[in-house]
């Protein structure tokens, strides 16, 4: 019996025929749309969500046909939809903040064959905190007890260590402090900073536990902490600056006296001894110490180093080194000392004149802050009259207040505006003070007093006229 078989060419053409017949079939199915976020009946906690929608269609998507409505508001007309072949994403900006409650979402898109898909959904916006991990803060009393326990443990360890060292190593605290003096600047800087940090932590917890204290409790705690941590250092910096200026002027006069004594035939070391008997300047104490060292047999250079060391002035130490080197080399030392005294005296006078000239710039900075505070006060006075003004026209569309979903243009309340201006004024006050220190003396720390004064002025004016 003869069997019947298809030719091999027919078998090869069969898949091509099927594909062509499938492609020639008319696409009548709309795209398949899936709501990713927010899903149908989903509760969200962000009034400005990022909406995500996915879709698919074998004939391809017409990306220019995507339209999105929320509560009959055409989102696609005012926001940029990110549309591609598989999904669409759009961020609802703050100018169209969604109110709490249910909202209608309508999405329309077509495929390349013209088939339209429309999805209607409802989602809910909640103004409650999003459920999840909640951090329970301890009370201020618990924090105080914890800090007290830590300090108590450290105190017990310190006392135990001291008793052990006293018994085993013959340690004496008084002797240790004499041989290892603690510099005053460390005490003035670090002790207030630690105190300020402790106060700030306790204060923030206390404000958290007592929300009825006021709406600016956090700001007040932070400002008081700043004053606690900065005031001693700022005052000490100003005292040091004044002391350096007086020391430089007195040291110049000392060099003049030594030069005159050397010209009269007196040894420079003997000149220091004679000047120390009648000197009443800021360095009189160290002149007497240098005089005793000279009488004990110390050289002139060593005595001059004793006088210059406490000055904390690079200029004084520079001229001291110059004179000491000249003494070792030899020659007419009186001329060198007199020239150094004249140069140092000129330097002191130039610095004094510069400080007088910088007074105008300092006054301008203070006046600039005063102008800012005046403008803020006037804005706070007139703002309530415009608080309820409809500003939707500013953003290019109308009717947001009247839309069914209750979306609205975000308006900054008076309290928020006061807080923002208060932060601005405080930052400007503190920053202006540091600028004063930098432009007048070359170091920021010399302007901390101005920062404190300007910050205090801001706090007082806001307390009296704005809050």
pLDDT for 192 beyond 60? yes
Task: DSSP letter for 462, please.
Answer: I
The model's confidence at residue 411, banded by pLDDT at 50, 70 and 90, is: low
Lowest mean pLDDT, pick from 90-94, 254-258, 284-288? 90-94
Among candidates 307, 302, 303, which has minimal Cα distance to 253? 307
To the nearest 10 degrees (0 to 180), the angle between helices 217-263 and 314-329 is 20
C-alpha to C-alpha distance for 19 and 4, rounded to whole angstroms: 26
- pLDDT tens digits, 7-33: 555 455 555 545 555 444 566 788 888
* pLDDT for residue 3: 46
For residue 234, what pLDDT band results from cuts at 50, 70 and 90? very high
User: What is the pTM (predicted TM-score) of this model?
Assistant: 0.59
Q: Does residue 393 have a pLDDT over 50?
A: no
pLDDT at 137: 57
216/41: higher pLDDT: 41
Q: Tell me the percentage of the chain whose pLDDT exceeds 90.
A: 12
* Predicted confidence band of residue 4 (pLDDT cuts 50, 70, 90): very low
Mean pLDDT of the chain: 80
Q: Minimal CA–CA distance to 114: which of 57, 68, 74, 76?
A: 57
The pLDDT assigned to 228 comes to 92
Q: How confident is the model at residue 428 (pLDDT cuts 50, 70, 90)?
A: very high
pLDDT in tens, 53-93: 888 887 788 888 888 888 878 888 778 788 888 888 888 87
Q: What is the pLDDT of residue 213?
A: 66
pLDDT at res. 328: 78
**103 or 22, greater pLDDT:** 103
In CATH, the number for domain 32-125 is 2.60.40.1220
CA distance 247 to 239: 12
**pLDDT value for 15:** 56
Asked whether residue 240 carries a pLDDT value surpassing 50, the answer given is: yes
Q: Quick one: pLDDT at residue 212?
A: 66
The DSSP secondary structure of 204-254, one letter per residue, reads HHHHHH-GGG-TTHHHHHHHHHHHHHHHHHHHHHHHHHHHHHHHHHHHHHH
Average pLDDT over residues 34-40: 88
Distance CA 170, CA 185 (A): 29
CA distance 319 to 219: 49
Give the pLDDT score at 12.
Answer: 54
Quick one: three-class SS letters along 113-135?
CCCEEEEEEEEEECCCCCCCCCC
Confidence of residue 141 (pLDDT cuts 50, 70, 90): low
Instruction: Report domain extents, the chain.
Output: 32-125, 140-234, 241-342, 358-386+412-466
Give, for 190, the enclosing helix (H) or strand (E): helix 184-209
Q: Angle at Cα 438 formed by Cα 436 and Cα 443, nearest 5°? A: 125
Asked whether residue 197 carries a pLDDT value surpassing 70, the answer given is yes
Answer yes or no: is pLDDT of 155 > 90: no
pLDDT at res. 179: 65
Both tokens assigned to 287: 């002149």
Of the ranges 335-339, 377-381, 422-426, which one carries the lowest mean pLDDT score?
A: 377-381
Q: With beta carbons less than 8 A apart as the criterion, state whether 124 and 130 touch.
A: no
Query: Over the stretch 198-227, which tens digit does the pLDDT of each residue have?
Result: 888 888 888 877 766 666 778 888 999 999
- For the stretch 449-463, pLDDT in tens is 999 999 999 998 888
> How confident is the model at residue 365, as a pLDDT?
92
* Residue 109 contacts residue 84 (beta carbons within 8 Å): no
What's the pLDDT band for 100 if we cut at 50, 70, 90? confident
The token pair that represents 83 in the structure block = 């549309």
- Find out whether 54 and 76 touch, Cβ atoms under 8 Å: no
Give the C-alpha separation, 257 to 277, whole Å. Answer: 13
């Amino acid at each position: 019996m003869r069997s019947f078989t298809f030719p091999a060419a027919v078998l090869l053409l069969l898949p091509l025929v099927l594909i062509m017949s499938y492609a020639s079939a008319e696409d009548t199915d709309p795209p398949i749309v899936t709501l990713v976020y927010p899903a149908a009946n989903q509760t969200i906690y962000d009034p400005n969500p990022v909406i995500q929608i996915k879709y698919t269609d074998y004939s391809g998507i017409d990306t220019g046909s995507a339209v999105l409505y929320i509560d009959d508001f055409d989102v696609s007309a005012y926001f940029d939809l990110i549309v591609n072949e598989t999904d669409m994403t759009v961020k609802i900006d703050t100018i169209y903040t969604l109110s709490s409650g249910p909202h209608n979402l309508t999405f329309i898109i077509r495929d390349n064959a013209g088939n339209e898909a429309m999805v209607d959904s409802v989602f809910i916006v909640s103004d409650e905190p999003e459920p999840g991990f909640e951090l329970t803060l301890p009370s201020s009393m618990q924090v105080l007890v914890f800090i007290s326990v830590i300090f108590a443990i450290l105190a017990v360890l310190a006392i135990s260590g001291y008793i052990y060292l006293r018994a085993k190593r013959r340690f004496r605290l008084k002797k240790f402090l004499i041989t290892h003096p603690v510099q005053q600047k460390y005490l003035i800087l670090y002790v207030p900073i630690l105190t300020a940090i402790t106060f700030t932590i306790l204060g923030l917890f206390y404000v958290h536990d007592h929300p009825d204290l006021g709406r600016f409790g956090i700001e007040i705690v932070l400002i008081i902490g700043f004053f606690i941590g900065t005031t001693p250092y700022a005052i000490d910096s100003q005292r040091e600056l004044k002391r350096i200026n007086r020391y430089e002027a007195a040291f110049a006069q000392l060099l003049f006296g030594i030069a005159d004594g050397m010209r009269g035939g007196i040894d420079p070391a003997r000149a220091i001894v004679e000047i120390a008997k009648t000197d009443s300047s800021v360095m009189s104490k160290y002149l007497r110490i240098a005089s005793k060292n000279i009488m004990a047999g110390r050289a002139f250079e060593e005595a001059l180093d004793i006088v210059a060391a406490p000055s904390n002035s690079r200029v004084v130490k520079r001229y001291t080194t110059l004179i000491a080197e000249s003494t070792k080399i030899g020659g007419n030392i009186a001329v060198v000392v007199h020239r150094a005294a004249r140069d140092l005296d000129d330097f002191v006078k130039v610095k004094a004149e510069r400080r007088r000239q910088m007074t105008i710039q300092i006054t301008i900075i203070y006046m600039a802050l005063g102008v800012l505070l005046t403008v803020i006060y006037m804005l706070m006075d007139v703002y309530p009259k415009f608080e309820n003004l409809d500003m939707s026209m500013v953003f290019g569309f109308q009717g947001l207040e009247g839309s069914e979903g209750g979306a609205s243009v975000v308006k900054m309340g008076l309290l928020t505006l006061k807080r923002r201006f208060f932060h601005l004024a405080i930052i400007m006050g503190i920053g202006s003070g540091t600028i004063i220190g930098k432009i007048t003396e070359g170091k920021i720390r010399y302007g901390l007093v101005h920062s404190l004064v300007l910050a205090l002025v801001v706090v007082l004016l806001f307390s009296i006229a704005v809050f």
